[in-house]
Amino acid sequence: MKSNTVMKTAEAVEKKESASEKTVDKPWKEYIELAKPGIVMSNLLTAFVGFFVAAQYTAGYSLGSNIHILLFTMFGIALVLAGGTTLNNYIDKDIDPLMDSKKERPTVTGTIEPRKVLFAGLIQSSIGVGVLLAIEPVAAIIAAVGLFVYVVVYSLWLKRTHSLNTIVGSIAGATPPLIGWAAVDPGLHMYAWLMFAVMFIWQPPHFLALAMMRVEEYRKAGIPMLPVVAGFTMTKRQILVYIAALLPISLLLYPFGMIYTIVAAALGIGWLMLSLKGIRSKDDTIWARSMFMYSLVYLTVIFVVMVVVHL
């Protein structure tokens, strides 16, 4: 008995020392992890598309002569995104230990002090908004509003209190193409708002599918995601409604050309058919995973095509 106690104590000390060594040796890796680079990169894609397409529709604007503006815009947006996700890690430090998928976060393992996480998030966000302000005030305002919605309205409030958290969080997640467009054209053409609408409507089915996959984690953490409070049947209906709305909205960008229109229609119909299949699905987890993966393909392909058709 005594031997087991000694062994457990030794293991605990070893883990603590390992965490300390990890923090001292390569702390920058922990900060990168806090910034959720996958989320930052996917949002930078949509921001770049907003910037690139705006350059095509803004008279007299030469993309080649304004590469520095593009680079600084992407840098500023990346910092705002990184700051927002880092602050989200700080805010969720009390509930993340209850979720298996988030137990390796530095805020859970203790490799970075919460105070440092908070400072990192605030510094990244501030510099990012400052960079965008130097480029175009409208872009900075949109970024600041998106950051406020994500950090304060979503993370601090609705994520813990209401299933509408997914919808409100989608407002922040849809701002990158608007920011990218505003850096070129602060007047924000209708196409910019349609790209925002595509991003906004795309997010609920994407995140609701993820919530279905992790429903027990959210239940354990006390997070009122729709699958937790209303069940899978209602969640699948909501996913279907959003995808049905996304299809015609994406087709409003038909002025982008026949190739875009065909791709958007094919992707939208394919996703709609997959969502209809879920109504009678016997294994909701497998179906949710397929929906989640399809959503990633959808977003990537449709935004890449927006660039290709304007080359």
Asked whether residue 171 carries a pLDDT value surpassing 90, the answer given is yes
* Tens digits of residue pLDDT in 45-59: 999 999 999 999 998
Say how many C-beta atoms besides its own lie within 10 A of residue 16's C-beta. 11
Q: What is the dihedral of CA 304, 298, 258, 273, to 10 degrees?
A: 170
* Tens digits of residue pLDDT in 95-115: 999 898 888 888 888 888 889
Percentage helix, strand, coil for the chain under 3-state DSSP, each rounded to 5: 85, 0, 15
Mean of all residue pLDDT scores within the chain? 90
154 near 168, Cβ under 8 Å? yes
Q: What is the dihedral of CA 297, 196, 81, 148, to 10 degrees?
A: -140
Model confidence at 122, pLDDT cuts 50, 70, 90, reads very high
Q: Report the residue count for the chain.
A: 311
- Among residues of the chain, what percentage have pLDDT more than 70? 92
Model confidence at 28, pLDDT cuts 50, 70, 90, reads confident
pLDDT number for residue 111: 86
Average pLDDT, stretch 129-152?
97
* Tens digits of residue pLDDT in 247-259: 999 999 999 999 9
Closest among 85, 82, 76, 87 to 47, alpha carbons compared? 76
Q: Extract long-range pairs of 140-146: CB within 8 Å, 24+ residues apart.
A: 140/76, 142/175, 142/178, 142/179, 142/182, 143/76, 143/77, 143/80, 143/175, 143/179, 145/175, 146/80, 146/84, 146/171, 146/172, 146/175, 146/176, 146/179
* Tens digits of residue pLDDT in 217-272: 999 999 999 999 999 999 999 999 999 999 999 999 999 999 999 999 999 999 99
pTM of the shown model: 0.88
Closest among 308, 310, 309, 59 to 184, alpha carbons compared? 59
pLDDT number for residue 25: 56
Distances (CA, A) of 30 to 76, 79, 106, 232: 21, 16, 6, 35
pLDDT number for residue 4: 45
Asked whether residue 15 carries a pLDDT value surpassing 80, the answer given is no
Asked whether residue 146 carries a pLDDT value surpassing 90, the answer given is yes
Residue 30 or 225, more confident: 225
pLDDT number for residue 9: 40
Sequence letter at residue 128: G
Residue 36 or 145, more confident: 145
* 3 state DSSP class of 58: coil
- Among residues of the chain, what percentage have pLDDT more than 90? 77
Sequence letter at residue 218: Y
Asked whether residue 6 carries a pLDDT value surpassing 50, the answer given is no
pLDDT number for residue 8: 39
Phi-psi region of 26 (alpha: psi -120 to 50; beta: other; left: phi over 0): beta
Say how many C-beta atoms besides its own lie within 10 A of residue 261's C-beta. 17
pLDDT number for residue 26: 65
* CA dihedral for 207, 208, 210, 211, sign (positive or negative): positive
Model confidence at 60, pLDDT cuts 50, 70, 90, reads confident
Say how many C-beta atoms besides its own lie within 10 A of residue 190's C-beta. 11
